[in-house]
Amino acid sequence: MRRLNTGAILVLLIAGCAGIPLPQTEQPQSQQAVTSEAGQRAKVHTELGGLYLSQGNLGVALEEARKALAASSSYAPAHSLMGLIHMQMRENAAAEESYERALRLAPNDPEINNSYGWFLCQTGRERRALNHFQLALRSPLYATPSLAYTNAGICSLRLQDDKAAEEYFMRALRLDPASDRAAYFLADISFRQGRLAQARQYLGDLHKRADPSVETLWLSLRIERKLGERDLEARLAAQLRRRFPEAAETQRMLQGQYD
């Protein structure tokens, strides 16, 4: 059974890399055609850079991105990768410049639009981000639209628009029934809106696919508490203490802070 790391959700959900786990992760290949020898070298170095980035090796990822751009400065995915690396390094001005270069070269590339949309979402420009997610979703060549729908859902949550967020997450889950992130957020929305049985179902399905994370355990515990299932609540509390003794959620539980 896979281990679900929803704690990384808000950091690693970009299609350029993901979840963004790459993309924990789910990094579809860019649709940009590569015909020249220099372009092939750029593609190889970009893919290597994405792999290193997904493993948390920013230094080597940065070097591979530089090699890709040295091979072909017109290879848009290399600029997008550079943007993602700068984003991870919290160098937002450099990240934006790289993403803008990528989009000038390939304005309709769905992976680049999704990745740039996530960057915009993380830097407080959620409405602009939603426009780029929509651009990504319009492409018939986009291999993993569930990523853009999930990212759009998270951006909608940041805008406090639960209705739009829920619709985005449901679309993501329909396209990819194994989307743990979409399932988690749907469970959270359902819980906050008092639909406890539905929230429990989303998490139950999720836990059949992946080991519980601290976030999903904490949400499950609060659901069972609201439902009055004290035995289940006690078992989840014991599991939370045993597996995540130092987590903020565990401390909140020990202090009786369930809301």
Domain limits, the chain: 2-211
What DSSP element (H or E) covers 80?
helix 76-88
The full DSSP string for 100-166 is HHHHHH-TT-HHHHHHHHHHHHHTT-HHHHHHHHHHHHH-TT-S-HHHHHHHHHHHHHHTT-HHHHH
pLDDT of the chain along its 259 residues, tens only? 444 443 333 333 443 333 333 333 333 345 455 568 888 999 999 999 999 999 999 999 999 999 999 999 999 999 999 999 999 999 999 999 999 999 999 999 999 999 999 999 999 999 999 999 999 999 998 999 999 999 999 999 999 999 999 999 999 999 999 999 999 999 999 999 999 999 999 999 999 998 999 999 999 999 999 999 999 999 999 999 999 999 999 999 999 999 8
The residue assigned the tokens 């997008």 is 80
Domain 2-211, CATH among 3.40.50.1370, 1.10.10.10, 2.40.10.120, 1.25.40.10: 1.25.40.10
What DSSP element (H or E) covers 2?
strand 2-3
Closest CA to 61 of 49, 70, 79: 49
